[in-house]
Amino acid sequence: MMKLETYTEIIEFMQRNGTRECVKAAAKLYPDIPTKTLGSIFSQDYQRKMKKCHHKFNNYKTRERLYQR
């Protein structure tokens, strides 16, 4: 089982780098953690970010403004 502080360090590292390539870089920093686990952590964090901002763009008025024809 992973320690919470290790998980937090990985999340902070990925948020600083921000791209899918950060999983490879994190794998070099944390060789004892499987790459699939790092990918899952990245995906989970990305989904959390989407849930936080999705409502801002998924309402009628915003869609009309963004996608004017």
pLDDT in tens, 5-58: 999 999 999 999 877 789 999 999 999 999 999 999 999 998 988 888 777 767
Residue 61 lies in a domain: yes
pLDDT (0 to 100) of residue 50: 82
Q: Contact at 8 Å (CB) between 28 and 17?
A: no
Residue 46 lies in a domain: yes
Residue 1 lies in a domain: no
Q: Which domain holds residue 38?
A: 11-66
**Number of domains forming the structure of the chain:** 1
Residue 3 lies in a domain: no
Residue 49 lies in a domain: yes
- Predicted TM-score (pTM) of the model is 0.73
Residue 6 lies in a domain: no
Nearest C-alpha neighbor of 10 from the set 25, 49, 51, 1: 25
* CA dihedral (23, 25, 26, 32) positive or negative: positive
